[in-house]
Amino acid sequence: MKRKTRILLTGLASVGVVAGAGLLHNRRPDRREHLHVTVFSEPGYMGRNQRLTWTGGEREVVPLTRVQLPRIGSIRLERLVYRFQPEVRLPNMYILRHALTERPDRTDPEGGAASFIAMHQLAGMFSVGLWEPVRESEARSGVRLWAGRPGDPLLGHDEGDLPGEAAPGKAAASGEAAAPGAQPWHDVLANTPDLGSWSTRTRYLEFGYHDGSGPRG
């Protein structure tokens, strides 16, 4: 077997393995989410703002002083997961077959062009990926707002993952905010244009998963 053919076949086999692994990854329901949180100092996504990013794994607690905003009046959430490129762009099989079967001709100035193009396409299958948004109904990550330091026994810290255990009426999607002196935390799972009393109660933001098991990937 010619050396060029062996190289192409090896490259094709390697790409097949990578592509297969990538396609399986793309279909996993538990791909790790990257959570981008934009916090605004005023309701209605107005005023000063800061963008915070959480890449999954262990829960992360950020004090309001680090956000450098006097308060948090509204929040926008964006969740992304990585998609491998093989599902998006496959090599041209005609060029690949031609590269494997063409005979070398030293007098042909374009000799080997098919091999070069084929190798370039094989490499391009997984050289670049993309981040795709997660639908709100499938999202697993969220933000928990704390009126005090998380983990303080006086606050009754929930040992479960953020936020899944909160009553439905306390979710951000309902548009209701906890009354002062009531629940020590407030879960934000969707874009919230007005945090109500939590705009002044919030002292810490906690990022994490809310499916009850944490990240599995």
pLDDT over 90 percentage in the chain: 36
User: What is the CATH architecture assignment of 31-87+129-150+182-209?
Assistant: Sandwich (2.60)
Distance CA 93, CA 51 (A): 44
Tell me: pLDDT of 195 over 80.
Answer: yes
Q: Which residue has the higher pLDDT, 145 or 115?
A: 145
CB atoms within 10 A of CB 177: 20
User: Do residues 41 and 70 lie in contact, with contact meaning Cβ atoms separated by under 8 Å?
Assistant: yes
Please give the pLDDT value at position 12: 59
User: Do residues 140 and 211 lie in contact, with contact meaning Cβ atoms separated by under 8 Å?
Assistant: yes
User: Do residues 213 and 160 lie in contact, with contact meaning Cβ atoms separated by under 8 Å?
Assistant: no
Please give the pLDDT value at position 145: 96
Please give the pLDDT value at position 21: 58
Which whole-number Å values give the CA distances from 145 to 55, 64, 110, 196, in the listed order?
A: 18, 10, 64, 12
- List, in sequence order, every residue forming a beta bridge with 50; answer none if it has no partner: 39
pLDDT tens digits, 114-138: 666 766 666 666 666 788 899 888 8
Tell me: pLDDT of 199 over 50.
Answer: yes
What are the residue ranges spanned by the domains of the chain? 31-87+129-150+182-209
Closest listed residue to residue 212, CA positions, set 119, 140, 152? 140
Distance CA 151, CA 143 (A): 16
Tell me: pLDDT of 179 over 60.
Answer: no
Band the pLDDT of 6: cuts 50, 70, 90.
low
Stretch among 39-43, 67-71, 99-103 having the lowest mean pLDDT: 99-103
Please give the pLDDT value at position 174: 35
Band the pLDDT of 170: cuts 50, 70, 90.
very low
Element (H, E) at 67: helix 64-67
Closest listed residue to residue 147, CA positions, set 77, 71, 48? 71
Query: What's the pTM value of the predicted model, to 2 decimals?
Result: 0.62
Tell me: pLDDT of 158 over 60.
Answer: no
Closest listed residue to residue 162, CA positions, set 139, 184, 144? 144
